[in-house]
Amino acid sequence: MIAADRRDVWQIVSDPYHLPRWWPLVMRVEDVYERKRGSGTQWTKVLETRSGKGVRADFRCLYARDNEAISWEQEVVGSPFAKVLKSAVTTVELSDADHGTRVELEVDQRLRGMSRLGGFMLKRATRAQLEEALDGLEHVAAEPKAEAEADESG
Looking up residue 83, the CATH number of its domain turns out to be 3.30.530.20
- DSSP letters, 57-85, are EEEEEEEEETTTEEEEEE--TTSGGGGTE
In a domain, 1, yes or no: no
In a domain, 153, yes or no: no
pTM: 0.86
Confidence of residue 153 (pLDDT cuts 50, 70, 90): very low
pLDDT digits (tens, 9 = 90+) for 23-48: 999 999 999 998 876 788 999 999 99
Residue 60's Cβ-count burial label (10 Å; 0-12, 13-18, 19+) is middle
Answer yes or no: is 62 within a domain. Answer: yes
Show the domain range for 101: 6-147
* pLDDT at 135 exceeding the cut of 90: yes
Structural domain contains residue 152: no
The per-residue pLDDT of the chain, averaged, comes to 88
pLDDT at 60 over 50: yes
- pLDDT(140) > 50: yes
* Residue 121 predicted with pLDDT over 80: no
Query: How many domains does one find in the chain?
Result: 1
**64 within some domain:** yes
